Amino acid sequence: MENPYLWLGFGIALTWVGAELLVRGSSRLALALGVRPLVVGLTVVALGTSSPEAVVSFLAARREAGGIALGNVLGSNIANIGLILGILALLHPLPVRWKTIRLDVMLLLFSTALACALAYFGRAFSRLDGVILLLFFVLYIAYYIRTGHEPAVVELDLEAEARVKPSAAKAALLSLVGLGLLLVGAREFLGAATQIAKIFEIPPAVVGGTILAVGTSLPELAASVVAVVRGQYDLAVGNIVGSNVVNLAFVLGGVAVVSGPPIGVDAEAAKLFFPAMLGFTLFLFLLLRIGTKLNRLEGGILLGGYLAFAIRVYLS
């Protein structure tokens, strides 16, 4: 790989486009097969927005780079709150109705606390830990489907898509193209980031928690920007909250199950990444609980906190 920076950008672009096509294609396929829009939103769309994190983390785990996989999940959740919500709130204050997203935020707080407890209890994520996280994810999805409550992770007009009666063949083709682009992009992205890390002697957890995390969080940024432009402010915040729950419960849980040996929680992750993720999540909970909007000042604090975190990571 002669120019890893060029391949890094190429990988990010392919990953982003692949994730978008995969979400749209698989959503239309499910609708064409008669699946309810609510169920599609809770499963296909929710998983699709986290597909870059999932694919990059699974590839890293299969290459026995568990530190990169763990750092990618933790770093993505930190970037989603600090970087993305910070930028969005700076661009436009985000009115938020606590009653609308209360359950989603509480579940995010619980899943974050659960992941931190598992990390500090065993200093590694074993298959058992992965099963626990995946079980929480199944219960999370089952609860929403049973109650009919629609979390704010659905950024597609699925009801309208269902009325159009999309072609199953075209939807399947779109899904396959998206999955192919996503896999190729994630592979090039991971390879370029790993090579850059070796050049600058950057620890694996730092690579996953910064370079890969920001790159795999771009779909969430795009979806949230679209929601803000449309005036769907609850959706912009809820998209981030839902994505973070999926990252912890499905992506981290799945990676722990398939990785083989337990994913070790190194000193960098234990003293910096986990506390930062928990701190950002708690701060977001307080902001949403006591206020009626995320204003520009709070956006600046979130963004400043993320920049301070990134600087701290590279100085450590």
Reading the chain (316 residues) residue by residue, the pLDDT tens digits are: 568 888 888 888 888 788 878 878 877 777 787 766 656 655 666 667 777 888 888 888 877 777 888 988 999 999 999 999 999 999 889 888 888 788 889 999 999 999 999 998 888 899 999 999 999 999 988 887 777 555 554 445 555 555 666 688 888 888 888 888 888 888 888 888 878 877 877 776 777 788 888 888 877 777 777 777 777 777 678 778 888 998 999 999 999 998 878 888 887 778 899 999 999 999 999 999 988 889 999 999 999 999 999 999 878 6
- pTM for this prediction: 0.85
Strand positions, DSSP E, the chain: 94-95, 124-125, 263-264, 293-294
Rounded CA-CA distance 161/37 in Å is 9
Long-range residue pairs from 38-43, CB within 8 A, at least 24 positions apart, any chain? 38/144, 38/145, 38/148, 38/150, 38/158, 39/145, 40/158, 41/150, 41/151, 41/153, 41/154, 41/156, 41/158, 42/141, 42/144, 42/145, 42/150, 42/151, 42/153, 42/154, 43/141
CATH of 4-255+263-315, one of 2.60.120.10, 3.30.2270.10, 1.20.1420.30, 3.40.50.2300: 1.20.1420.30
